[in-house]
A = this chain, B = another copy of it.
Amino acid sequence: MYGTAVAIFLVILVAALQGSEPPDSPFPYHIPLDPEGILELSWNVSYVQETIHFQLQVRGLRAGVLFGMSDRGEMENADLIVLWTDGDRAYFADAWSDQEGQVHLDPQQDYQLLQAKRTPNSLSLLFKRPFVTCDPKDYVIEDDTVHLVYGILEEPFQSLEAINTLGLHAGLQRVQLLKPEVPTPAMPADVQTMDIRAPDVLIPDNETTYWCYVIELPLHFPRHHIIMYEAIVTKGNEALVHHMEVFQCAAESEDYPKFNGPCDSKMKPERLNYCRHVLAAWALGAKEHFTTQKKLVSPLGARSPPDFSDWKFITTIQGRYKGRRDSSGIRLHYTATLRHYDAGIMELGLVYTPLMAIPPQETAFVLTGYCTDKCTLKALPDSGIHIFASQLHTHLTGRKVVTVLARDGQERKVVNRDNHYSPHFQEIRMLKKVVTVHQGDVLITSCTYNTENKTLATVGGFGISEEMCVNYVHYYPQTQLELCKSAVDDGFLQKYFHTVNRFSSEEVCTYPWASVPQQFASVPWNSFNRATLKALYDYAPISMHCNKTSAVRFPGEWNLQPLPKITSTLEEPTPRCPIRQPQSPTSPTVVITAEEDAE
């Protein structure tokens, strides 16, 4: 990055220890921060102390390193730790960057350095931080996606304030830091494994590669239950393979075309869009094993009707690695000894329809989809269902997703919320607490979109430039209800277009025979038309999709349904501030450097 980088190797003799606690347990979670594997983060979580211990391993340290968190992965307005040298001594500090990227010392030092160890080629920093610090410059660590950021210092800085994140070799990595503590069940004796992996793919020269591969189950494969799965990543590709998913293909078609190629290829058969039920998903930073809980198991193989015999497998590779090959995949552990319940997957949120649209140039436009009391009353068993995992899904403009359960008009609990949702990081997440949905409950899924870069409205649909708002919830016992989603009533949307025309001074009319996307495309997006569309979505009756398998509705009247009335909403909890320890230092910790070696 710097033309004449000064290679300063820090040899740390004594680390300034503050109450030198070792971590309570080894680190169950690991993630490479950069594609080159220079920085690797390990961490564990203490829910009792509401604290995370981090271990940051830096290979080939030059003059220092920045690590931290920010809202969406930017280096500005970030909550940081900084290890730097002035050429003489080395320092560690809790810091923050302002909106110009300028680094400042935090008045409150909440990251606490516990140990700094040097091995021949690397430096390892051990530090801890509470989830919540109540320092307004600190990131609040919550259950959802966290955008980790890093920067590499290649030359000394006279002071912390001399550092600007602009122009540093920097990057981001998304991860869920606060993973739930799910115990690993013992494997039964009859456990078998099946590997689903990319067929020795030659990685194309793209920034990001999504590789699609269709696999067929062996004919007449008997019914089993999957009890665990794990990632098997090709050696050397640990920092490249970002994300892997196995989708079941819907039973609409008996036979799916075989395919092996980039997911955005024009050659990819359109019918593969129906392969969207996630069976297994793994992402960087996940625990080695994803275990289904006791009783909570996904069926594998024959089931009565339908029989999902095709799977689509996607590997996501990040970074340009021309010529490199990858055969990563997912290993399923399954058993023929069937468990008590089948687990099911249900879609909540919005119907894939252009009726739901986001105006352009919005920073936080919200669309909401409902699973109404009428549908849960009709489709759920008397004893209700139990949601144990959730995967949130939008396309590229999605920024937040939340599903809330309401009962008797009152919001009762959050099923899953991600206020830092990224469409580039869609995990199946185990819920900390299983959520039981009873007959008559309402499930409300809201997605927040950012369309600042768009010039036209973004309408709902399957296409990557269209939008979705979905929560795939994993639950048991399996029911016939496959999707419970809504969209605004078409007739009311036409009234909206009529109002737009009436208020339009330019007499630009959207013609009644135009398609909905065409009508949206001709709306002049002024403040009135924006606010009125929002008001329409918050008011107009909805059309419900309370469906068994695709397009087969439960019997009943599902059009022109009233919006669920919610009289009391859940407030986002204000984070509890930890009890302050007797005056933490407000100056950097000095890390003694013994040797300085100029290149």
| Cβ-closest chain B residue relative to A560 | B505
Q: How far is the CA of A534 from the CA of B531 in the complex (A)?
A: 9
Write out the residue numbers on chain B whose beta carbons fall within 8 Å of the beta carbon of A433.
none
A531: which of B495, B499, B526, B538 is its contact (CB, 8 Å)?
Answer: B538
Write out the residue numbers on chain B whose beta carbons fall within 8 Å of the beta carbon of A498.
502
Q: Smallest CB–CB gap between A202 and chain B, Å?
A: 51
Identify 6 new A-B residue pairs, CB closer than 8 A, beyond the known A499-B502, A528-B535: A495-B502, A498-B502, A527-B538, A528-B539, A530-B535, A531-B532
A535: which of B531, B539, B540 is its contact (CB, 8 Å)?
Answer: B531
Q: Smallest CB–CB gap between A164 and chain B, Å?
A: 25
Q: How far is the CA of A492 from the CA of B504 in the complex (A)?
A: 11
Q: Is A503 an interface residue, CB under 8 A from the partner?
A: yes
| Cβ-closest chain B residue relative to A528 | B539
Instruction: List 9 contacting pairs A-B, 8 Å CB cutoff, sorted by A.
Output: A499-B499, A499-B502, A527-B538, A528-B536, A528-B540, A530-B535, A531-B531, A531-B535, A531-B538
Query: How many copies of this chain are found per oligomer?
Result: 2
Q: How far is the CA of A149 from the CA of B528 in the complex (A)?
A: 42
A539: which of B527, B536, B539 is its contact (CB, 8 Å)?
Answer: B527
| Cβ-closest chain B residue relative to A541 | B505
Q: Smallest CB–CB gap between A178 and chain B, Å?
A: 25
Q: How far is the CA of A526 from the CA of B563 in the complex (A)?
A: 12
Q: Smallest CB–CB gap between A563 and chain B, Å?
A: 9
| Nearest 7 CB-CB pairings of A with B | A531-B535, A528-B539, A499-B499, A527-B539, A528-B535, A532-B535, A527-B538
For window 287-338 of chain A, which residues contact chain B by CB distance below 8 Å? none
For window 528-563 of chain A, which residues contact chain B by CB distance below 8 Å? 528, 530-532, 534-536, 538-540
For window 350-392 of chain A, which residues contact chain B by CB distance below 8 Å? none
| Cβ-closest chain B residue relative to A503 | B495
Write out the residue numbers on chain B whose beta carbons fall within 8 Å of the beta carbon of A492.
503
Write out the residue numbers on chain B whose beta carbons fall within 8 Å of the beta carbon of A531.
531-532, 534-535, 538-539
Q: How far is the CA of A572 from the CA of B538 in the complex (A)?
A: 29
